Amino acid sequence: MNTLTLNQTKQWLKQSPNPLTRTLFRQIKAVHRFEIPAPGVVVAPLYSAYCGVRGLFSTLTRILWWTPLFKGRLTQIGRNLYLYGGLPYISGPIQISLGDNCRVSGQSTFSGRTSAAQAPELRVGENVDIGWMTTIAVGRRVEIGNNVRIAGRALLAGYPGHPLDAEARAAGLPETDDQAGDIVLEDDVWLATGVSVMAGVRIGSGTIVAAGSVVTHDLPANKLAGGVPARVIRSLDTESNKGRTECHDS
C-alpha cells in the first residue's frame, strides 16, 4: 500500500459516518495508545538504573575513547581536560592548544581557514568552558584567555568561508585575505548563549556579552554589552556598580 492510499484510508476512517467504521477507528486508536501500567515503585528504580548505566558508559567512553582521540589532534594540551558529549568536529589545517582545566563540549566545531598562508592557530588559556554546539572558525588566530566562559551555540567567525565577489563565489573560490581576521577574548570574558563574534574583534577582560548578540567591533574591559550589533550597556566596574546600587536604593 503506497503512502497516498494509506493516507486516504486514514481520512476515510476518521470521517466516515458509518457506526461500524467509527467503532473500528476507536479500536485502532485504543491499540495505538496502549500502554502498560507503570507504578512508580517499579519504574523509578528502572529509570535510576538506566541513568547509572548510561552515566557509566558515557564516562568510560569519554576517558578511554573520545578524550584520547581529541588529544591526538591537539598541538598542545594542559592538564585535566574534561571533554563531554563525544568528539568535536575539526576541519582544516588548524593548530589547537589548550591550557589546564578546560571543559569542551563534544558537540563543538573547530575549523581552520584552508587558504591561509600559515596554519591558523587557536590558543585557549586555563579554566575555559567551550559550550554545546559552539563553532570556532579560525582565520589566522583566535586567542581565548584564562577563565573564559563560552555558552552554547556561540560562533567565533574568524573567516566567512566565501568571497564577496559573486563570480568568485560561484566558482568555488575561497574568501580573500582581507576577509579573515584575528579574534581575541581576554581573561574572564563571558559569551552568553548564541553570541557571534566577527573577525578582527577584541573583547576586553571581564566583559560579558548578552545572549544572541553579534559583536562586530572591539569591546572594552569590564562592560556588559548586548545587541545587534553589540554595544556597551553599562560598566561592570566595582565602583560603578556600587554607585548604581546606591542610586537604586535611594
Q: Which residues are catalytic?
A: 162
Contact 233, 226 (CB under 8 A): yes
Distance CA 39, CA 198 (A): 53
